[in-house]
């Protein structure tokens, strides 16, 4: 009995040590990842300082390097670019830039694709995604979150007009990078509405389902109840 108790105690101590080690890893891993990400952003942004002519750089003016100044410069560049692109001359320059990349094989596909998806995800215009919903993808019985993406062109709508149900164009983003995904057309009857904002849906997708919107579980339970009723 004594030997058995000693073995039991050793197992208990070993399991506790293992538990504490795992707890320590779970605490430090995101902290290290966060610090690494911040350091990477600051270090990468500081390379923008090279855009400043020599003699006007912080190390020349103050005698030493100032970490993080690249982020300020990056934000300033984005702000100036946004202001410039908002006027008549800026819009013409942007159109020329788009035309330039639009005539380069291979590059035009990547450039146009990223531009359209970025505008849809970040823009507040009518072309941006407005309505998150559930669709069955990649096959029946498997549900995923998608976004209504504009409206169907007349030619496609006419080609589908023989069907009794109307079709809806949706964008199905990939996880965790929502800038890549699939543009599909689904029957309206095969979609389920979501009481979520675009930001909530994107956070849920990007976080691999770890950041759970408060209303989503209730909606999913409601859908399950509806499916059970249909089966009965």
Beta strands in the chain (DSSP E): 132-136, 143-148, 167-173, 181-187, 191-193
Burial profile 141-170: b = 16 or more Cβ within 10 angstroms, e = fewer: eeeebbbebeebeeeeeeeeeeeeeebbbb
Structure tokens at 73: 């410069």
Q: Quick one: pLDDT at residue 87?
A: 83
Q: Quick one: pLDDT at residue 94?
A: 83
pTM to 2 decimals?
0.47
Pair 184, 122: CB distance under 8 Å: no
Q: Quick one: pLDDT at residue 126?
A: 46
Domain ranges of the chain: 1-85, 89-126, 132-231
Q: Quick one: pLDDT at residue 223?
A: 44
Q: Quick one: pLDDT at residue 217?
A: 44
Relative to beta strand 181-187, strand 132-136 is: unpaired
- Binned average pLDDT, 10 residues per bin, the chain of 232 residues: 63 82 82 81 75 73 72 81 83 83 79 71 57 87 86 78 75 80 85 84 80 55 48 49
């Amino acid at each position: 009995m004594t030997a058995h108790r000693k073995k039991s105690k050793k197992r208990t101590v070993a399991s506790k040590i293992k538990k504490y080690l795992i707890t320590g890893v779970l605490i430090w891993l995101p902290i290290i990842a966060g610090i690494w990400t911040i350091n990477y952003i600051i270090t990468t942004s500081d390379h923008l300082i090279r855009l400043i002519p020599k003699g006007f750089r912080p190390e020349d003016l103050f005698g030493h390097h100032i970490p993080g100044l690249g982020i300020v410069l990056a934000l300033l560049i984005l702000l100036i670019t946004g202001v410039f692109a908002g006027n008549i001359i800026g819009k013409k320059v942007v159109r020329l830039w788009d035309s330039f990349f639009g005539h380069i094989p291979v590059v035009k596909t990547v450039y146009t694709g990223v531009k359209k998806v970025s505008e849809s995800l970040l823009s507040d215009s009518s072309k941006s995604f407005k309505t998150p919903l559930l669709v069955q993808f990649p096959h029946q019985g498997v549900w995923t979150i998608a976004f209504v993406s504009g409206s169907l062109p007349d030619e496609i709508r006419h080609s589908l007009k023989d069907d009794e149900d109307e079709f809806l164009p949706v964008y199905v983003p990939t996880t965790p990078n929502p800038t890549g995904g699939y543009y599909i057309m689904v029957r309206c009857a095969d979609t389920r509405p979501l009481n979520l904002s675009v930001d909530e849906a994107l956070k849920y997708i990007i976080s691999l389902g770890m950041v759970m919107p408060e209303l989503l579980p209730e909606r999913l339970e409601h859908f399950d109840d509806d499916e059970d009723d249909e089966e009965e």
